[in-house]
Amino acid sequence: MKEPFVVASWPSVPVEIVRAAGFRAVFARGASAPTPTADQHLEPGVFPRRLRHLVEHALTGRLSDAARIVIPRTSDTDYKCFLYLREFVRSGVTSALPPVILFDLLQSGGAQIGGYDAARAHALLDALASASGRKPSADDLRQEIVRANGARSAARRLVVFRRIVPRVTGTELFPLLAAFWELEPERYVAAVNGAARAFAKRPALSGPRVLLTGVPVDGPELHQAIESHGAIVVAEIGPWGSGAAGDDVRVDDDPIRAVADKYRADAVGARTPAASLRRWTERMLDDVDAVVVSLPPEDAVFGWDYPALRDMLQARGMPHVCLRSDQDQALTPDEHARLEVMVSAASTLQEARHG
Amino acid sequence: MADKQLDTTTAASAFQKQWFADLRRRVFDERQPYALLQADVPFELFDLLEIPAVSNQWWASIIAAKRQAPQFLGAMDADGLHCGLCRYCSLGFASTRYAYAGEPPWGGLPTPRLLCARLTCDCIHRVFELWAEAFGAELFEIDHPGAGELPERWWELGRRQWRELVEPHRLAFLVSTLESLVERLEAISGRAFDRNALRDRLELVNQQEEVFDDVRQLIATAPECPVRMTEQITNVMATQWVRGSDWAIAHARAFRDEVQQRVDAGVAACPGERARLMWVGAGLWHDTGFYTAFESSHRAVFVWSMYLAFGPDGYIRYGLDDPMAALASRTASFNEYLHNPPWAAEWLVHQARAHRIDGALVLRPRSMKPAATGRLFIERALEDAGIPVLPIEADVVDGREWDADAARADVRSFLETRVLQ
């Protein structure tokens, strides 16, 4: 029998809660395939591809096997997607849709936020538990936290192979990091251990080390494009790559609060406080030679950070490129040419630094 | 731009200019604090603690109307802020951050003591953080929990059953956040907040919005529209930013009385009216002449915008035993009422029918991505209700790529082929 699963639109939905309720989590991702049905309902240039694909699948009956669809409030487009999905059902556009749940995780810094998020995490657990018929205890959730923390620890071991002296490309590593969200923790740890043994035997890679920032990517297409010029992507902002693991979730008397606190602080998305992303980026800059900023057409948020980032990079003498293409489409020849120039400049600086 | 038809419109414009001059004097000469707010923040709390407040959207509309926007927007572009980022909510920021680029209206904004924004759209946190940094001022954010339940006919529930309109956890969160805001404002002003005064103020706000309800009814039922949409907006918005104040209520009444006199005397904004139009979306502030451009040629008059209609439906709250909760319930879902399914489309169809609308022009905002959502639901609902729709692609403050002639030609064609057959 097929394992029961829920579909989530972004990895700010806690996998620990999903698993404690008895489900496997499947997350929406972008792709270059067309979305003709969704396009009839979603305004162009607003929704990222992952949401267009989620809606396409929803309206063409491909999510009918899911127990629930969970949409987090961690971006405005996700929230709007939730409202649209509800409206499709209400207005009869589709009937083959599982119930849609809003996980109202807030990420600003007010005094009320922690308690609110914990309550919403509790509500999510209750909603999923009622769908599965399982009634998870606090111990059940703590056990899922421990399992996921084991996988986080493994993911952090992977990251070591790309820091300082990289031994693996971003194109190769990104899917391994991203698998944290969907693989069972024990299988994930086994896969990571196998990969780590292989990576340890590899020689160091040459080429300038690149940080990929801007709008978080959910696939390795941009890594491939950047690395085709001889650079190595050694870090990327967002929950799918470098940020997949993050710090462990606390294991304490209030596991729901611990999960809510972790995701509020660590879930990178459009509503993550700018200062938090800025701190992360500054830390990363010490270990890279160049930066690629991806600001695809639907970006309404991360572009605001660009002037400050550009000024910081210029002050450090670090080359960078800003790309405006769709993250799931091929780069333009002009963008490839600019990448080539950036990689060349970074290589020269790298050689100068290393004598 | 067309001449003003109502005396109250002239008075409202003069009031705004004088109010801003007084604000500058109080800030510069008397060192009084003031605040910069997103339009959907509860201004009443600031006013009750004697902290004057300037609306970001109002300030942006003034900059655009004074034709100063292109300079500041050009400076934003030059600094690497790409063209897909919202210009409406950030034009005020640009006039501060890139002050060298242009000449802000009326001497420009003085430095506020506090900025405050509801985090409806994702970009608001970014814009206000940058703006606060540019001023060296404090920022208070009001987070925006998502609505999981959206009961039908919100505009009816909102008046007396407002607790049913907002889920309890959202309401409690917002009450708690507003209480924190009050604490902050008390510290800034050195004054104590008076809950009874809030109740009194909300009762006055109700009175003001009831007057606007009367005006709306006059416009909806008069044989011909008695007041242009642009003049409705000027009169309504001048009072909304100081809502519940003596001046606001007196002005609202004067406005209503003047509209009533025009109805009684059979005076129309566009005599011989043949088509009644609805504008869906924020105002086209850089080209307000657009709204009167079809009167002489086609006898087509803009009758409706959200600015007047939203006052009575969005603001009135009866049952003020817990005034902070009532205020929170009003604030909780502004964005959803105006943009998102099912609420926005349902309300707009209801309003279109009540106002005997013949055609709707729906803004397709170029850079305001969150405001662009829900648009297709709205367009479809209006068409399904038998109301022809013409989408208008434009930025409300950035007129640099606005082809005024082409847009007017599109409307003429729409009128001739779909509205006036």
Asked if B369 and A45 come within 8 Å (Cβ–Cβ), the reply is yes
B183-205: pLDDT as tens digits:
999 999 999 999 999 999 999 99
How far are the Cα atoms of A95, B323, B381 from residue A86, in angstroms, in the given order? 11, 32, 16
Give the lowest-confidence range in A242-246, B144-148, B270-274, B366-370. Answer: B366-370
Per-residue model confidence (pLDDT) at position A108: 94
Q: Which residues contact B27 (CB under 8 A, 6 or more apart)?
A: B33, B34, B110, B111
Distance CA B108, CA B95 (A): 8
Per-residue model confidence (pLDDT) at position B1: 56
Distance CA A274, CA A271 (A): 8
Phi/psi of residue B317, each to 5°?
A: -135, 110
The residue-averaged pLDDT of A151-165 equals 92
Per-residue model confidence (pLDDT) at position B120: 93
Q: A31 to chain B nearest CA, in Å?
A: 21
Per-residue model confidence (pLDDT) at position A2: 74
The residue-averaged pLDDT of B288-303 equals 97
Is the pLDDT confidence value at A352 over 90?
Answer: no
Q: Is A273 an 8 Å CB contact of chain B?
A: yes
The residue-averaged pLDDT of B11-26 equals 92
Per-residue model confidence (pLDDT) at position A243: 87
Q: Which residues of A touch B122 (CB under 8 A)?
A: 75-77, 270-271, 300-301
Helix and strand numbers (H, E) in chain B are: 20, 8
Confidence of residue A146 (pLDDT cuts 50, 70, 90): very high
Per-residue model confidence (pLDDT) at position A245: 85
Indicate the residue of A76, A274, A297 with minimum beta-carbon distance to B84.
Answer: A297
User: In the 3-class helix/strand/coil scheme, how is B266-314 assigned residue by residue?
Assistant: CCCCCCCCCEEEEEECCCCHHHHHHHHCCHHHHCEEEEECHHHHHHHHH
Q: Is A43 an 8 Å CB contact of chain B?
A: yes
Those of residues 323-352 in A touching chain B at CB distance below 8 A are 324
Per-residue model confidence (pLDDT) at position B95: 96
Give the lowest-confidence range in A162-166, A246-250, A271-275, B303-307. Answer: A162-166
Per-residue model confidence (pLDDT) at position A355: 66
Those of residues 349-378 in B touching chain A at CB distance below 8 A are 364, 369-370, 372-377
Q: Is B335 an 8 Å CB contact of chain A?
A: no
Confidence of residue B378 (pLDDT cuts 50, 70, 90): very high
Per-residue model confidence (pLDDT) at position A137: 97
Is the pLDDT confidence value at B372 over 90?
Answer: no
How far are the Cα atoms of A10, A20, A184, A300, A344 from residue A145, in angstroms, in the given order? 19, 9, 12, 34, 44
Confidence of residue A1 (pLDDT cuts 50, 70, 90): low
Percent of chain A with pLDDT over 90: 92
> Whole-prediction pTM value?
0.96
Is the pLDDT confidence value at A185 over 70?
Answer: yes
Q: A164 to chain B nearest CA, in Å?
A: 30
Q: Which residues of B touch A298 (CB under 8 A)?
A: 84, 369
B316-330: pLDDT as tens digits:
999 999 999 999 999
Per-residue model confidence (pLDDT) at position B370: 66
Those of residues 168-187 in B touching chain A at CB distance below 8 A are 169, 173, 176-177, 180
Other CB atoms within 10 Å distance of the CB of residue B173: 27
Is the pLDDT confidence value at B2 over 80?
Answer: no
Confidence of residue A96 (pLDDT cuts 50, 70, 90): confident
Residue pair B232/B219 in contact (Cβ under 8 Å)? The answer is yes
Asked if B372 and A84 come within 8 Å (Cβ–Cβ), the reply is no
Asked if B342 and A90 come within 8 Å (Cβ–Cβ), the reply is yes
Q: What is the ipTM of this complex?
A: 0.95
Per-residue model confidence (pLDDT) at position B214: 98
Asked if A304 and B146 come within 8 Å (Cβ–Cβ), the reply is no
Is the pLDDT confidence value at B371 over 90?
Answer: no
List the single residue in A with minimal CA-CA distance to B378.
A41
Is the pLDDT confidence value at A351 over 90?
Answer: no
